[in-house]
Amino acid sequence: MKKMSEVNKAGALEQYETAQIKIKRLLKQIEAGLEKHDRKTSGQGGHHWGHVGDLNRIAGELEEINNLLHSKGEYAEVLTNSKTIL
DSSP letter string, 17-68: HHHHHHHHHHHHHHHHHHHHHHHHHHTTTS--HHHHHHHHHHHHHHHHHHHH
The one-letter amino acid code at 3 reads: K
* Backbone conformation region of residue 71, classed left if phi is above 0, alpha if psi is from -120 to 50, else beta: left
The model carries a pTM of: 0.72
The pLDDT tens digits along the chain (86 residues) read: 667 777 788 899 999 999 999 999 999 999 999 999 999 888 878 889 999 999 999 999 999 999 999 999 999 986 545 455 54
d(CA 33, CA 39) in angstroms, rounded, equals: 10
The predicted structure's pLDDT at residue 83 = 53
